[in-house]
Amino acid sequence: MIQTKRVYEPAAKTDGQRFLVERLWPRGIKKESLSLTGWCKEVAPSHELRKWFNHDPDKWNEFQRRYRTELESRPEAWQPLLEAAKAGNLTLLFSAHDPEHNNAVVLNNFLVKSLTATVK
């Protein structure tokens, strides 16, 4: 199971491996206080795409398309997450306020589709 969770929410036993999928470290979080398996900076949207999107829900559909294109061009960035998902529960941590319009949601869907494709 792959799930998304705000980095500010407490860790749960059902989280499994927890990866931060942001390019920037979240404000107000001390590295030593975050229960984290790893920080995957390179899987996050490019600086240019992140700035363009600016968490604007009106740009959501185009953001998803552009971010998937970036992901497709960088399999080495998301392959470790795919392997972690095959091994058990995986939680993608994000810092955005909007739980529905953020890169972790797109990445989650991308990884689920990739898992489904590898099973066939």
Question: For residues 95 and 82, what is the distance between their CA atoms, to the nearest angstrom?
Answer: 21
Q: Phi and psi at residue 25, in whole multiples of 5°?
A: -70, 135
Instruction: Identify the domain containing residue 37 by its residue range.
Output: 2-119
The number of distinct structural domains making up the chain is 1
4-44 residue pLDDT tens: 999 999 999 999 999 999 999 999 999 888 899 999 999 99
> Residue 75: its pLDDT value, please?
96
AA identity, residue 87: A
> Residue 119: its pLDDT value, please?
61
% of the chain exceeding 90 in pLDDT: 92
Q: Phi and psi at residue 92, in whole multiples of 5°?
A: -95, 115
| 99 touches 6 (CB < 8 A) | yes
**Residue 6: which residues within 8 A CB-CB, separation 6 or more?**
93, 94, 95, 96, 99
> Residue 120: its pLDDT value, please?
56
77-106 residue pLDDT tens: 999 999 999 999 999 999 999 999 999 999
